[in-house]
């Protein structure tokens, strides 16, 4: 399955995420246009899994735009608190999408639980839907550990508190060129790119 045009609607209103996706799709000659740019509404994420929410968002963007659409659902799972925030990662940032509050909540919950396990993973599930409504999904992850206080002002979301395995810097401290190939999103996109080629 490939988009019928070289344009693909990205079902996201997050500029940082759209920038990463644009960099990943650029080599294929596909021009991503965000749901935010098109003024498409953000559907309520009602599914209990990353896969379910990614498919829900891709379907909504595809139906609203009449074009092929790509959605991702991604988040942080902190193993010391049972995998939270998981699918609620964005919601923990509140209506203002303040990830300083979200990172503080992760740390507070780890401290309150007495957890000594600071291991975590970022998960990304991509859902690609074509104009006929056929859907394919792709999943990537990166494992690492959480640190406090957060470090770095690059990246977005929980990046400043996540150190990927085998590295000393948080995603928030890494230059985007260094960070990008390590990410859960890049790993999911590698599968997508293989499929689109």
CATH code where residue 31 lies: 3.90.950.10
What integer pLDDT is reported at residue 1 of this predicted model?
45
Name the residues annotated as catalytic.
73
Q: Which domain holds residue 112?
A: 7-188+191-195
Confidence of residue 106 (pLDDT cuts 50, 70, 90): very high
- The answer to whether residue 138 is domain-embedded is yes
Per the structure, the count of domains in the chain is 1
* CA distance readout (Å), 7 to 22, 154, 163: 11, 28, 34
Cβ neighbourhood burial of 78 (10 Å; 0-12, 13-18, 19+)? buried
For residues 46 and 55, is the Cβ–Cβ distance under 8 A? no
- The answer to whether residue 42 is domain-embedded is yes
| Residues 98, 90: Cα–Cα separation, whole Å | 9
Report the predicted TM-score, pTM, of the whole model to 2 decimal places: 0.86
- The answer to whether residue 14 is domain-embedded is yes
Mean pLDDT of all residues in 72-80: 96
| Residues 7, 61: Cα–Cα separation, whole Å | 13
What integer pLDDT is reported at residue 31 of this predicted model?
82
- The answer to whether residue 161 is domain-embedded is yes
What integer pLDDT is reported at residue 128 of this predicted model?
95
């Amino acid at each position: 399955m490939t988009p019928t045009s070289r344009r693909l609607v990205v079902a996201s209103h997050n500029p940082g995420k759209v920038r990463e996706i644009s960099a990943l799709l650029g080599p294929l000659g596909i021009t991503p246009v965000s749901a935010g740019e098109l003024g498409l509404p953000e559907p309520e994420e009602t599914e209990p899994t990353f896969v379910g929410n990614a498919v829900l968002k891709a379907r909504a963007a595809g139906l609203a735009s009449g074009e092929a659409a790509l959605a991702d659902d991604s988040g942080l799972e902190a193993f010391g608190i049972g995998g939270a925030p998981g699918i609620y990662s964005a919601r923990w940032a509140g209506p203002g999408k303040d990830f300083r509050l979200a990172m503080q909540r992760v740390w507070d919950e780890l401290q309150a639980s007495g957890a000594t396990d600071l291991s975590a993973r970022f998960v990304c599930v991509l859902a690609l839907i074509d104009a006929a409504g056929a859907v394919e999904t792709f999943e990537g992850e990166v494992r690492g550990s959480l640190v406090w206080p957060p470090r770095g002002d690059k990246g977005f979301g929980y990046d400043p508190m996540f150190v990927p395995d085998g590295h000393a810097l948080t995603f928030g401290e890494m230059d985007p060129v260094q960070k990008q190939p390590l990410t859960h999103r890049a790993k999911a996109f590698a599968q997508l790119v293989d499929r689109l080629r």
